[in-house]
Amino acid sequence: MPVTHVEDMKKFAAEKFQKVNLFDTERMFCDIYCFEPGQEQTSHAHADNDKVYFVLEGSGTFGLGDEQIEGKPGTAIHCPPTVDHGVVNNGSERLVVLVFMAPHP
């Protein structure tokens, strides 16, 4: 499926934030992450992969190593290999983040 639209793919759940895949190849993936207020992606790192977070809707705090970054629509964050990163939706709106990772983990 080479074409999709984020409005058709957004999905939220009360239990935890949702990862929705848009594109997946041997070389990379592209997801959206959908957070209800209060939900978070726990801090973690990847040994060999770059991740990019791009905020589409809402706001949240992105941990990146020792930094805490306030994200809003249009904020782009690069998480290099081995650097801890995570996301908390501490806003009052739903948070939607475009996520790109390469190489595919």
- Residue whose token pair is 């904020």: 75
Amino acid at 76: A
CA distance 28 to 10: 20
Nearest residue (CB) to a second copy, 11 versus 16: 11
String of contacts with a second copy for each residue 35-64, x by CB under 8 A: --------------xx-x-x-x-------x
Counting contacts by CB under 8 A, is residue 100 touching a second copy? yes
Q: Which amino acid is at 61?
A: T
Pairing of strands 85-88, 60-64: antiparallel
Binding site for a second copy (CB under 8 A): 1-7, 22-23, 25, 27-28, 30, 49-50, 52, 54, 56, 64, 67, 69, 74-80, 98, 100, 102-103
